[in-house]
A and B are shown apart, each in its own frame.
Chain A
Amino acid sequence: MLSLIVSEGKDLTKEEKQRLRKEKKQQKKIKEKKDDKASQENEKEKKPVTSAAPASQPPTQPTPTKTKAELKAERRARQEAERASKQTKKGETGQQAATSKPKAPPSDLQPVVKRLPEHIQVDNPDVLKKLAKKLERQQIPLRSDYGYKVSLFSHLHQYSRKAPLTQQLSIPSTVIHPAIVRLGLQYSHGIVAGSNARSVALLHAFKQVIRDYTTPQNEELSRDLVNKLKPYISFLNQCRPLSASMGNAIKYIKKEISNIPSNCKEDEAKNKLLNCIESYINEKIILAGVAIAKCAIEKQKISDGDVILVYGCSSLVNHILCKAFEKNRKFRVIVVDSRPRLEGKEALRRLVQKGISCTYVLISAVSYILPEVSKVFLGAHALLANGYVMSRVGTSQIALVAKAFNVPVLVCCETYKFCDRVQTDSFVSNELDDPDDLIVTRKGTTPLEGWENESSLGLLNLVYDVTPPDFVDLVITELGMIPCTSVPVVLRVKNVDQ
C-alpha cells in the first residue's frame, strides 16, 4: 500500500487520485472480510478522516518536512496496526464516533492537530483551496462571497441571497437528490428558518433520500449510504451553514447507518433507518417540547397576572405560551422584534390567533417597556459547553437589560441542541447574512443605496450572538430545570449513555 505514494500529492490528476483511492479501498475490503465488526468501524472512521483531511487540515503545521501524502500514509499504517491489535475486542460504536477526530496518539510523528471547521477559516487561502477541491470532487458548485466584509469578520462567509447556489447546478443534478436541492434553496432563502424547523426539514429530506436509495453492487449499505450523504451535507452547508442542532442530528444518523449489520437485507435496513429517524424527531423535538411546556406550566413559571416578554420567533416558546393559555392562565405577552428579519411579526401572528393579548415593540424600546415585565422567556439556537447561550442576535441585549431591571430570564432549550463547543464572544464563530437586508427606504430616500461603491462603508448583518451565563437565571429542558452551567454535565451524561 505504501508503494502507491507519490512524492508530490498535487501533481496527481483527478483520475489518478480516484484510481488510487479505489485501489486502496479494494485492498482494504479484502482485508476486512476477515475482520469482525469492530474493525469495520475503524475503517469507517478513517474515511471521514481521509476525506475531511484535505479540506480541513490546518496549515498551521510548521514547515512540514514530510509531504501530506506521506503523513497520511504513516497515519494509515499506524491505524492498521491499532486495528490489528483491536481485532479481538468489540469496540463500542459511540466511542468510535468520538475518536473520529484525527488526533494523533502522543507519538513522535506529528504534533496533535485539531480539526477546525472550514467555515471559520475563510480568510485562509489554503483552506479555501482545499474546500474548492473537495467540492469539485463531490461535484458541488462553490458559492462565492459577496460584498465588502467588515474586517472583524473576515474569517466568516458572507453570501448574497440574490445568488443562490442552485443557479450553478445543472438540471437535473445527478449528484444531489432533488429533495436536498429543494431543502438547500429553502434554507438559503429563509423559507425554512429556526433551529427546530431546519432540523426537522433536514431529517424529512434524509428520510426521502433513504427511501429512494438502492445499494449498488459490491457495496455495503452501511458504508455507501454514509458516503452518499456527504455531498448532500456539503451542499447544504454551502447553502446555509449548518446549525448545531442539525450537526447533532447528522451525527446521530451517521451513527445509526454505520450500526446497520452487514447481513441485514436492504429493505429491512431502510425500514430500520426510517424508524430511527422518526423516533429521533418524535423524542428529541416533539415530545421534548411537550415535556418542557408541562414543566414550565406546572412549576408555576407562568402564573396569573404575568407579563411575559419574548424575543423573535422561537417555536418552543410559542408552544409553551399557547399551552399555558389553553390551561387558562391569565397573562399577557410583549413581543420584541428587531430589524432586518422582523421575525417577531410571525410570533405575533401565531399568538394573536390563539387569542393571547400581545404588545409589539422594537428592540430599541426594550428599556422603556421592561419595568412592566415580570418574566423574560428566550429561545436558544444552541447551548455551549461553557454555559453560554447561542441565540438570535439581540438576545444577549435583552438579557442584559432584563438583568439591569432585575427581571428573571428563562431560556427554553431541548437537549439535542447542546453542543460541546466553547465560545466567549460573538465573533469567532457566527453567521453573516446578506448585507443588503439592512438597506431601507424611508420617505422616498434610501441613504444606503450605493453602499458597495463607498469604499469605507460596510454593512454588518449578524445572525447569532452569545449570552453569558450570568444573565440567564434558568434553563428549562426536558430533563428538568437546570442552571446554565450544568450543560457540560448533561453532555457528559448523554455521552455515557450512548
Chain B
Amino acid sequence: MPGPYKETDLTERVEAFLSDLKRGGTGAGPLRGSAETARETTALLRKITAQARWSSAGDLMEIIRKDGRRMTAAQPSETTVGNMIRRVLKIIREEYARSRGSSEEADQESLHKLLTSGGLSEENFRQPFALLKSNVIEAINELLTELEGTTDNIAMQALEHIHSNEVIMTIGRSRTVEAFLKDAARKRKFHVIVAECAPFCQGHEMATNLSKAGIETTVITDAAIFAVMSRVNKVIIGTQTVLANGGLRAINGTHTLALAAKHHSTPLIVCAPMFKLSPQFPNEEDTFHKFVSPHEVLPFTEGNICNKTDLNHVPTFGKSFSDLDISSLSGFF
C-alpha cells in the first residue's frame, strides 16, 4: 500500500474510534462493555504500530502517546482506554530492551538507580531495530488473546467463593459477575438478589439472564437494599474501574450497598479484570462523577414542577469508597 493512502486510512480509523467513544459513553443504550473498549483500543494501537511511519521506538511511543491523549480526552470516564495505552507503551519498552540485548535485571529500574542515575533513559529509545515492529505486533497480539480470556478466567474461580444455599447480592449489570455466577450455578445451588439500579434498571436484564440459567433470582428495588441485607451472605459486584488507592469507581448505588454490607459485616467481593486497574487517584470531585440528563428521573412531561425544581443531573458512576474494607479482589491474568 502506498504511504499516504495508509496514513489517511489510519486517521480515519482513529477518528471513527474517537467519535464512537464520545457517543458510546452516554450510559443510556446498551452499554459498550469495558472489555470491548479495551479490545478495540488494543486493535487500534496495533494498527497504528503496523501502519504509521516510525523509525525508532521513541517515535512510536510519541505517536501512541499523542493519539492516546486524544482518546482519553474523548471520554474521560472510560479509563480502560488509558490503561491499554499504558500497557502497550510498556510492551514497546520491553521489546526495545530485549532487542538491545540487555538483560532484564540490569534494565529494571531499581529505586536506587532512579535516584542516582540522573541520566535520562529517553535517549536509549532512539536506536532503530529491524525486528522491533514485528516483535511489538506479536506482543500486542498476545495481549489481545489475554483480553479474550479474562472473563472466563475469572469465572473459573467461582466455585472457590460460592458454596451451596448461599444468598448473594449484586447490583446492576456486569458481564463479569454474570459469567461468574453462571459458572458457579453449574455445580451449586444458591439464591441471587439483584438490586435493579434505577433509573436505567440494568438489574432487570441481569436478573432475567440469571434466571434463564436456572439460578433462583429475586429483583429488589434500590430502596430495599438495607432491608434485605441482613439475610445476604455475600455481595459480589462488578466495577468500572479500580483506583490506585483501592477504591472503586462503580455504578451509582454501590456506595450504599457497600455501607450496608459493612454494617452487617457481609464480605464484599469485586470481580474485575486486570485491564480495569488504573493508576489514577480519586481526586477531582467534579470530573469524577459522570452525569446523565435528568429527564430519566423526572420527565419533561411533568413540566409544571420541572421548571421550578433544581434537577440534579443523574450521576451514573459514583464515588470511591476506599475507606471500606473490600475483602478480595479477584482479577485474573
- Show the binding face of A for B, using Cβ within 8 Å: 150, 152, 338-340, 345, 348-349, 352, 357-369, 392-394, 396-397, 400-401, 404, 425-427, 438, 440, 442-443, 447-448, 451, 454-462, 465-466
Please name all residues of chain A whose beta carbon is closer than 8 Å to the beta carbon of B256 when the two chains form the complex: 363-364, 366-367, 397, 400-401
Q: B310 is contacted by which of A340, A359, A462, A465 (Cβ under 8 Å)?
A: A359
Q: How far is the CA of A123 from the CA of B315 in the complex (A)?
A: 42
Q: B259 is contacted by which of A349, A360, A393, A401 (Cβ under 8 Å)?
A: A401
- On whether the beta carbons of A339 and B217 are closer than 8 Å, the reply is no
Please name all residues of chain A whose beta carbon is closer than 8 Å to the beta carbon of B9 when the two chains form the complex: none
Say if the beta carbon of B302 comes within 8 Å of chain A.
yes
Say if the beta carbon of B230 comes within 8 Å of chain A.
yes
Please name all residues of chain B whose beta carbon is closer than 8 Å to the beta carbon of A345 when the two chains form the complex: 298, 302, 305
- On whether the beta carbons of A339 and B311 are closer than 8 Å, the reply is no
- On whether the beta carbons of B207 and A457 are closer than 8 Å, the reply is yes
Stretch at the interface among B84-92, B114-122, B220-228, B275-283: B220-228
Q: How far is the CA of A368 from the CA of B298 in the complex (A)?
A: 18
Please name all residues of chain A whose beta carbon is closer than 8 Å to the beta carbon of B308 when the two chains form the complex: 352, 358
In the complex, what's the smallest C-beta–C-beta distance from A86 to chain B, in angstroms? 46
Say if the beta carbon of B29 comes within 8 Å of chain A.
yes
Q: How far is the CA of A345 from the CA of B187 in the complex (A)?
A: 46
- On whether the beta carbons of B312 and A361 are closer than 8 Å, the reply is yes
- On whether the beta carbons of B298 and A360 are closer than 8 Å, the reply is yes
In the complex, what's the smallest C-beta–C-beta distance from B14 to chain A, in angstroms? 30
- For A467, the closest partner residue in chain B by CB is B226
A365 and B252 contact, Cβ closer than 8 Å, known pairs A404-B259, A442-B200, A460-B220: yes
Q: B211 is contacted by which of A394, A397, A454 (Cβ under 8 Å)?
A: A454
Complex interface bits, B207-221 against A, C-beta within 8 A gives 1, otherwise 0 = 110011011111111
- On whether the beta carbons of B310 and A358 are closer than 8 Å, the reply is yes
Q: A338 is contacted by which of B208, B222, B311, B319 (Cβ under 8 Å)?
A: B222
- On whether the beta carbons of A338 and B310 are closer than 8 Å, the reply is no
- On whether the beta carbons of B201 and A440 are closer than 8 Å, the reply is yes
- For B212, the closest partner residue in chain A by CB is A454
In the complex, what's the smallest C-beta–C-beta distance from B205 to chain A, in angstroms? 5
Say if the beta carbon of B198 comes within 8 Å of chain A.
yes
Q: How far is the CA of A212 from the CA of B294 in the complex (A)?
A: 52
In the complex, what's the smallest C-beta–C-beta distance from B282 to chain A, in angstroms? 13
Say if the beta carbon of B231 comes within 8 Å of chain A.
yes
- On whether the beta carbons of A363 and B223 are closer than 8 Å, the reply is yes
Q: A393 is contacted by which of B196, B198, B199, B223 (Cβ under 8 Å)?
A: B223
Q: How far is the CA of A372 from the CA of B231 in the complex (A)?
A: 32
- Show the binding face of B for A, using Cβ within 8 Å: 28-29, 196-201, 204-205, 207-208, 211-212, 214-228, 230-231, 252-253, 255-256, 259-260, 263, 289, 297-298, 302, 305, 308-312, 314-315, 318-319
Please name all residues of chain B whose beta carbon is closer than 8 Å to the beta carbon of A462 when the two chains form the complex: 220-221, 224, 227-228
- On whether the beta carbons of A394 and B223 are closer than 8 Å, the reply is yes
Please name all residues of chain A whose beta carbon is closer than 8 Å to the beta carbon of B207 when the two chains form the complex: 447-448, 457
- On whether the beta carbons of B289 and A465 are closer than 8 Å, the reply is no
- On whether the beta carbons of B312 and A369 are closer than 8 Å, the reply is yes
- On whether the beta carbons of B297 and A447 are closer than 8 Å, the reply is no
Please name all residues of chain A whose beta carbon is closer than 8 Å to the beta carbon of B211 when the two chains form the complex: 454-457
- On whether the beta carbons of A339 and B200 are closer than 8 Å, the reply is no
Q: How far is the CA of A358 from the CA of B319 in the complex (A)?
A: 23
* 20 pairs of residues in contact across A and B, judged by CB atoms under 8 Å: A339-B221, A348-B309, A352-B305, A359-B309, A359-B311, A362-B314, A363-B223, A364-B197, A368-B252, A368-B318, A397-B225, A448-B204, A456-B214, A457-B211, A457-B218, A458-B216, A458-B218, A462-B224, A462-B228, A465-B224
Q: Which of B29, B207, B211, B226 has the most CB of A within 10 A?
A: B226
A400 and B263 contact, Cβ closer than 8 Å, known pairs A360-B298, A460-B218: yes
Q: How far is the CA of A465 from the CA of B231 in the complex (A)?
A: 14
Please name all residues of chain B whose beta carbon is closer than 8 Å to the beta carbon of A451 when the two chains form the complex: 208
Q: How far is the CA of A366 from the CA of B252 in the complex (A)?
A: 9
Please name all residues of chain B whose beta carbon is closer than 8 Å to the beta carbon of A465 when the two chains form the complex: 224, 226-227
Q: How far is the CA of A117 from the CA of B215 in the complex (A)?
A: 34
Q: B221 is contacted by which of A340, A348, A357, A400 (Cβ under 8 Å)?
A: A340
- On whether the beta carbons of B309 and A352 are closer than 8 Å, the reply is yes
In the complex, what's the smallest C-beta–C-beta distance from B289 to chain A, in angstroms? 6
Please name all residues of chain A whose beta carbon is closer than 8 Å to the beta carbon of B205 when the two chains form the complex: 447
Please name all residues of chain B whose beta carbon is closer than 8 Å to the beta carbon of A456 when the two chains form the complex: 211, 214-217
- On whether the beta carbons of A459 and B311 are closer than 8 Å, the reply is no
In the complex, what's the smallest C-beta–C-beta distance from A432 to chain B, in angstroms? 11
Q: How far is the CA of A460 from the CA of B220 in the complex (A)?
A: 5
- On whether the beta carbons of A457 and B198 are closer than 8 Å, the reply is no
Q: How far is the CA of A466 from the CA of B226 in the complex (A)?
A: 10
- For B310, the closest partner residue in chain A by CB is A359
A152 and B231 contact, Cβ closer than 8 Å, known pairs A340-B221, A397-B223, A438-B196: yes
- On whether the beta carbons of B302 and A438 are closer than 8 Å, the reply is no
- On whether the beta carbons of A362 and B199 are closer than 8 Å, the reply is yes
Q: How far is the CA of A462 from the CA of B298 in the complex (A)?
A: 23
In the complex, what's the smallest C-beta–C-beta distance from B170 to chain A, in angstroms? 14
Please name all residues of chain B whose beta carbon is closer than 8 Å to the beta carbon of A349 when the two chains form the complex: 305
Q: B204 is contacted by which of A348, A440, A455, A460 (Cβ under 8 Å)?
A: A440
In the complex, what's the smallest C-beta–C-beta distance from A472 to chain B, in angstroms? 14
- 5 further A-B pairs in the complex, CB-CB below 8 A; given A348-B309, A368-B289, A438-B219: A340-B221, A365-B312, A400-B260, A442-B201, A462-B220
Please name all residues of chain B whose beta carbon is closer than 8 Å to the beta carbon of A367 when the two chains form the complex: 255-256, 259, 318-319
